Chain A
């Protein structure tokens, strides 16, 4: 396993885009973890005397309409973005993993029912569903996570199902079964390790999508609670003052674009390394 990781890492390091992506991600993760230490100002402190300040030595990215330091807020926003992304992707992935295996192993009717279920979930346009649910649920990160989970676990389910089906009848597994291997042994020793490759590729590709959804929902005012720093909320402020103070918008979009680029390029590189076959199909 360590040899595997070693070679994978080695191969990733040979790809300039992957290196670029990993550098961005490392930067984001470190700045999110150390946000409190790095932040030059209290992200929530309003300084009405310094509203709409231009970028300067004191306010590296200027201030917003309430005189809060944009840079400090973006650092905190990164924390929220990563928290939502990791939580939502883990939950969606886990549900998808279980349902996908059920579909793959279960009787035919169950497989068909789950496939139909996945198809039905795919019919909801994410942001529109988010708006509809936002009308019914309290505003907060919990709602964001629920929306992401609902709209994304089906995709994991599909991938896991396909992998499971193709493995279920593979010769080595049939042989094990014939020799009386337990169901659990087959799942944990054979299916799971083989499913995890495509599963992690999908998860990596999904992180930037989730980050975008969180930012988008916060932009629409249905994400983070009011006052909470979030990239989307900063972008909303920037949009409101686009004519007078464009740098709120400019600096608000920067970390979001960097994060999505970083994660997408890393996902691409991972996919190329782990499963070159997939490249053709997308």
Chain B
């Protein structure tokens, strides 16, 4: 397990390194003048020349990438020239909102998805199972931003059950959760479908296993057999699906943040793109990718830890 953990961490670090370096390369080469990218369109010619000199922008690309990482590792992500503060400040004040949104979505998808999947497997072949199967596919197919828009229209604008904008009062947890409920549901709905399907499938597989027959042969109550003995094994793949799914959820979060006018990484990037605020775009990308890769890594390790079959082997 230790060895496995180590390998996975190294791989994750390498992925983040290459993904960000590639993006940085594109960023500083594609628009022509890298100083535009790094200083913003409003910088004067002298500032540009000075900056070019200081940052070594005439160096070959790999040296520049090395410098870039040197700055990042020393905590310098550049300047947010719209707000006149370090990029890190902008990015890290936005991050918690997005993290809350993603974990809210995971909460919805795990709770509803496992329930739906286990229930379907338990009632395999019934019309409820069939309906839930069709629903799962429909959830997966429905574009999350249309779900966000429609739920905004129905639940916030028409019914007024939920707020239409913002992330709630700072410090007031109930208000925060109240503002989180609808946008995180819009993101999570597709994953309710994915989780329900994988849980149903792995549950049916588990129910056919010999150890389930053993449990029944020893007279364990049906509920224990299904919701404890089988489900425990069946939720393992769902953890993995959700971990990898965080990438998709981050994409959906962009829409949810814009539709529900919430602060967060997505709306930060969106605003920065229209303002050509490249350092913020770069910083937010870095954090988003880092967050995603970390979550996928953690999900993988949790999976390995929950499944005792992996513990000693790896």
Measuring CB to CB, which residues of chain A are less than 8 angstroms from any residue of chain B? 17, 116, 119-129, 131-137, 208, 212, 215-216, 219-222, 235, 238-239, 242-243, 246, 249-250, 253, 256-257, 260-261, 263-265, 268, 279-282
A123-B19, A128-B266, A128-B288 given; A216·B145 CB < 8 A = yes
Beta-carbon contacts of B242-284 to A below 8 Å, as 1s and 0s? Answer: 0000011011101100110000011001101110101001101
CB A91 to nearest CB in B, in angstroms, measures 19
A258 to B138, CA, bound (A): 10
Residues of A within 8 A of B198 (CB): 282
A26 to B250, CA, bound (A): 33
CB A173 to nearest CB in B, in angstroms, measures 31
B278-A123 in contact (CB<8A): no
Supply 8 A–B pairs (Cβ within 8 Å), ascending by A.
A120-B15, A123-B19, A131-B281, A132-B27, A132-B285, A222-B273, A239-B259, A256-B146
Given contacts A127-B252, A133-B26, 7 further A-B contacts (CB under 8 A): A120-B22, A124-B23, A131-B281, A216-B251, A219-B145, A220-B254, A221-B274
A135 to B277, CA, bound (A): 9
A242-B197 in contact (CB<8A): no
A104 to B11, CA, bound (A): 21
A131 to B137, CA, bound (A): 28
Residues of A within 8 A of B26 (CB): 133, 136
B149-A261 in contact (CB<8A): no
Q: Specify the chain B residue showing the minimal Cβ separation from A128.
A: B288
A131-B270 in contact (CB<8A): yes
Residues of B within 8 A of A253 (CB): 146, 149-150
B197-A282 in contact (CB<8A): yes
A212-B143 in contact (CB<8A): yes
Q: Does B61 contact A (CB under 8 A)?
A: no
A268-B137 in contact (CB<8A): yes
Beta-carbon contacts of B134-151 to A below 8 Å, as 1s and 0s? Answer: 100110111101100110
Residues of A within 8 A of B288 (CB): 125, 128
Q: Specify the chain A residue showing the minimal Cβ separation from B134.
A: A17
- Number of B residues contacting the other chain (C-beta, 8 Å)? 58
Q: Specify the chain A residue showing the minimal Cβ separation from B251.
A: A127
B289-A235 in contact (CB<8A): no
A131 to B31, CA, bound (A): 15
Residues of A within 8 A of B158 (CB): 246
Residues of A within 8 A of B272 (CB): 135
Residue of A119, A122, A132, A260 touching B11 (CB-CB under 8 A): A119
B258-A264 in contact (CB<8A): no
Residue of B248, B284, B289 touching A123 (CB-CB under 8 A): B289
Q: Does B152 contact A (CB under 8 A)?
A: yes
Q: Does B292 contact A (CB under 8 A)?
A: yes
A135-B150 in contact (CB<8A): no
Residues of B within 8 A of A123 (CB): 15-16, 19, 247, 289, 292-293
A132-B19 in contact (CB<8A): no
Residue of B15, B30, B201, B255 touching A127 (CB-CB under 8 A): B255
A119 to B292, CA, bound (A): 12
CB B143 to nearest CB in A, in angstroms, measures 4
A128-B269 in contact (CB<8A): yes
B19-A208 in contact (CB<8A): no
**By CB atoms of chain B within 10 A, which of A120, A216, A268 has the most?**
A120
